Amino acid sequence: MKKLAVIISSILLSSAATAADNYQSISHLGYMDTDGNDTVSVDSTYYFSPKATLGPYDQFEYINKQTNVYGAYTDNDFSDVATIGGEYFLQDFVLGAEYSNNDSDAGSSTDVIKLSAGYFFNPNLLLKATFEDVEDGENRVVFDLAYNHQLNSTDYIGFTVTSDDEFDYRAVNAKYFMDLKQGNYLTVEGTVSDTDNGSSSWELGSNYYFTKATSAFVTFNKNDDYTFGAQHFFNKNVGLKAGYGNNWDDSGYDAYFANVSLQF
């Protein structure tokens, strides 16, 4: 009987350790100090159904499937941007709307309205079209094709291909999430974009999770900009992320940033 009790207890403890955490509200408060410019930002998203983690407190499925509303505000020394929006999922369809206002300290103001519609060919393949109406600018339609290739119950490779209606702009995003077992996780994510009569760019980043609460990150891009730092959740609801950024060719550029996460 003692052996049986120990086995049952071990199974229950193991299940509790690997059980996913669920959230319906995710918010961030951020601050960045760069040479000659301070930026304060706040954003919040509310999901109408629980959103499950993949282990780490800040890692979720590649393609969101939960109806939500969100808002964000960013203020720096040159302008402030306010955004509100939401997504509604109905069976295999998703509809979205977003409004943002960019108010420049120089006196100008620009409104942007986005309307989107998407269709799930299967739970792991989504095609979405977004109409963008820019005040005093050119309207355009952007297409996104997102695919999630599930490797096992947790690991995945996700891809998103993006293009505008005239194929003047093209981008590919890829993300790899891996459960290294023993409470460790790894993400690798990269984005490549190209614009006709413009420049191309790429960015690569990675997160290593020592536990589901503590991680270190690094990013690097084509312009030799880089960031690195760490994140720690004090409990399942409150986390702090801090880091430093600079440029390999122009080390006079310094950026210090911090971000508080509130998840419930």
pTM over 0.85: yes
Residue 172 CB-half CA count within 13 A: 3
CA distances 230 to 65, 86, 239, 260, Å, are: 28, 30, 11, 12
Residue 213 CB-half CA count within 13 A: 9
- In percent, how much of the chain has pLDDT > 70? 93
Sort 155 into a burial class: Cβ within 10 Å, 0-12 / 13-18 / 19+: middle
pLDDT of 186-244, one tens digit each?
A: 999 999 999 988 789 999 999 999 999 999 999 999 999 999 999 999 999 999 999 99
Pairwise CA distance, residues 88 & 71, whole Å: 15
pLDDT of residue 15 exceeding 70: no
Instruction: State the Cα torsion 54-56-59-61 to the nearest 10°.
Output: 0
Q: With beta carbons less than 8 A apart as the criterion, state whether 140 and 151 touch.
A: no
The residue assigned the tokens 């390999």 is: 248
pLDDT of 51-105, one tens digit each?
A: 999 999 999 999 999 999 999 999 998 889 999 999 999 999 999 999 999 988 7
pLDDT of 160-181, one tens digit each?
A: 999 999 889 999 999 999 999 9
